[in-house]
Amino acid sequence: MITVDVTLNDAGQVTDVIMDGHAEHGEYGHDIVCAGASAVLFGSVNAIMGLTSEKPDIDYNDDGGYFHVRSVDTTNEQAQLILQAMLVSLQTIEEEYKENIRLNYK
């Protein structure tokens, strides 16, 4: 299962996101849950770096299964909007594939 741990501050802004694990919905390379969740996360981080002044701190495993993004300025409204959109997309995947992905808010 993919777990997505999302840390929010008191104002509901995203401060930290960790995606960990494997969906195990299909064969490696053919897993639509993994592909969808990864595309949402990578696309969102790329959008933050390409469309805003933010350069988040990123940590990941080369072989997949772990991605950590942090240090996004909570006062950067554009970056926060992209992160909120990312969460909506991940929640949509979670609604359809509850056995394969879970979002946890802290």
- State yes or no: is 25 an active-site residue: no
- Residues 33 and 2 sit within 8 Å (Cβ to Cβ): yes
- Give the active site residue among 25, 30, 34, 68: 34
- State yes or no: is 68 an active-site residue: no
DSSP string, 60-100: E-TTSSEEEEE---TT-HHHHHHHHHHHHHHHHHHHH-TTT
Q: Active-site residues: which are they?
A: 22, 34
